[in-house]
Amino acid sequence: MPLCCGLVKIVRTADRAAQLCGGLRANGPVVLVPTLGALHAGHVALMLRARKLARKDGNVVVSIFVNPTQFGPKEDFARYPRTFARDRKLCAEAGVDVIFHPEVEEIYPEGFSTYVDEERVSLPLCGKSRPGHFRGVCTVVLKLFNIIGPDVAVFGEKDFQQLAVIRRMVRDLNVPVKIVGMPTVREGDGLALSSRNAFLSAEERAQAPVLRHALLMARDTLYKKPAELTRMVKREIGRARLARVDYVETLDAETLEGPTARTRELVIACAVFFGRTRLIDNIRRKVSEK
Ligand code: PAF
| Pair 40, 96 in one domain | yes
pLDDT category at 7 given cuts 50, 70, 90 is: confident
| Pair 156, 223 in one domain | no
Residue nearest (by alpha carbon) to ligand 1 atom 1: 35
pLDDT value at 290 more than 70: no
The pLDDT value given to residue 223: 82
pLDDT value at 52 more than 70: yes
The pLDDT value given to residue 270: 98
Q: At what angle do helices 160-172 and 133-148 cross, to 10 degrees?
A: 60
- CB 166 near ligand 1, within 6 Å: no
Q: Tell me: the pLDDT tens digits for 163-195?
A: 999 999 999 999 999 999 999 999 999 999 999
- The predicted model gives 243-249 an average pLDDT of 98
| Pair 102, 149 in one domain | yes
- CB 159 near ligand 1, within 6 Å: yes
- The predicted model gives 126-138 an average pLDDT of 98
Give domain status of residue 2, yes or no.
no
Could you tell me the pTM of the whole model?
Answer: 0.96
| Pair 172, 234 in one domain | no
**Boundary residue ending a domain (124, 156, 182):** 182
pLDDT value at 1 more than 60: no
- CB 181 near ligand 1, within 6 Å: no
- The predicted model gives 214-239 an average pLDDT of 96
| Average pLDDT along the chain | 96
